Amino acid sequence: MDSRGDIREFLTTRRARLTPEQAGLPNFGGRRRVPGLRREEVALLAGMSVEYYVRLERGNATGVSETVLDGISRALQLDDAEHLHLYDLVRAANQGARPRQRRKPSRQQGVRPGVQQTIDAMFSVPVIVQNGRLDIVAANRLGFALFSEMYAQPQRPANFVRFVFLNPRAQTIYHDWEDAAQQTVALLRTEAGRAPYDRALSDLVGEVSTRSELFRTLWASHDVREHRTGTKRIHHPIVGDLDLTYEGMDLTTDRGLLLLAYTAPPGSPSHERLQLLASWAATNDETARALPAPTDTTDTA
């Protein structure tokens, strides 16, 4: 990943989406040569010189303080995910720096036995564990059943990015496929800021970019987001429509892995269908055959 180039593109796209009126600045009319805010307007709002901001937007992040980044974040009205992403890009761009260690990029393709036992005990809700590249590295039986379509492909580990953009079935599974595509790329772009030295991540981006024009377009937008809580609306081939909420939790002893649990309100049609899916999974061995084969868990990123 090109961290300096990513800083330039990220800041340029953020200020392009913000109008003077939205930023609380007077609009004196006339033709603006650029969409959104000008560099000098961002510098004014952030409380710094135009030259300093221009230097940063060009990717020169040497010596940039947290105070400066906080000022730019306020000026551009960045949300929490964007604010953290800017910090990651600046750290990676500085010579000798490494991204923050909240998530450790790894080629790990599984979880510790204790984690697997824990999610297996959560038999009434679908649970998966994914890494920053959006590989599913572990799941309980109901989790495998929920995402069984992803395991129809032989490639392991199952990966949300490949499924959403390279498998035509994804457009029938997701009720709002375009929204799912946007969110998927935003999550991957966030991980790219955290782990710019992850070769497997770079390879994944390159692979999907060559095969999906939509992915290339969304990747160029530099949108980011955190995967913490939300809703997932899918059409499951066995039980039909499911409207689920999910909660994401970092595995503190397995850096870089996120546990996601999906639920539906008791008594709702989606809850009843989840129970039906659980019964199907308990009597159908296809989910067991979907388990990924053991792979090398050495951290070579």
Q: Classify residue 15: in a domain, yes or no.
A: yes
The CATH number for 81's domain is: 1.10.260.40
pLDDT at 297 over 70: no
Residue 117 sits in the same domain as residue 26:
no
The CATH number for 252's domain is: 3.30.450.180
Identify the domain containing residue 186 by its residue range: 113-289
Residue 19 sits in the same domain as residue 123:
no
Tell me the pLDDT tens digit for each residue of 118-162.
999 998 999 999 999 999 999 999 999 999 999 887 788 999 999
Q: Classify residue 100: in a domain, yes or no.
A: no
Residue 258 sits in the same domain as residue 135:
yes
Q: Classify residue 98: in a domain, yes or no.
A: no
Q: Is the pTM of this model over 0.75?
A: yes
Percent of the chain beyond pLDDT 90?
A: 70
Please give, one letter per residue, the 3-state secondary structure of the chain.
CCHHHHHHHHHHHHHHCCCCCCCCCCCCCCCCCCCCCCHHHHHHHHCCCHHHHHHHHCCCCCCCCHHHHHHHHHHCCCCHHHHHHHHHHHHHHCCCCCCCCCCCCCCCCCCCHHHHHHHHHCCCCCEEEEECCCEEEEECHHHHHHCHHHHHCCCCCCEHHHHHHHCCCHHHHECCHHHHHHHHHHHHHHHHHHCCCCHHHHHHHHHHHHHCHHHHHHHHCCCCCCCCEEEEEEEECCCEEEEEEEEEEECCCCCCEEEEEEECCCCCHHHHHHHHHHHHHHHCCHHHHCCCCCCCCCCCC
Overall domain count for the chain: 2
Tell me the pLDDT tens digit for each residue of 92-112.
888 544 444 444 444 445 789
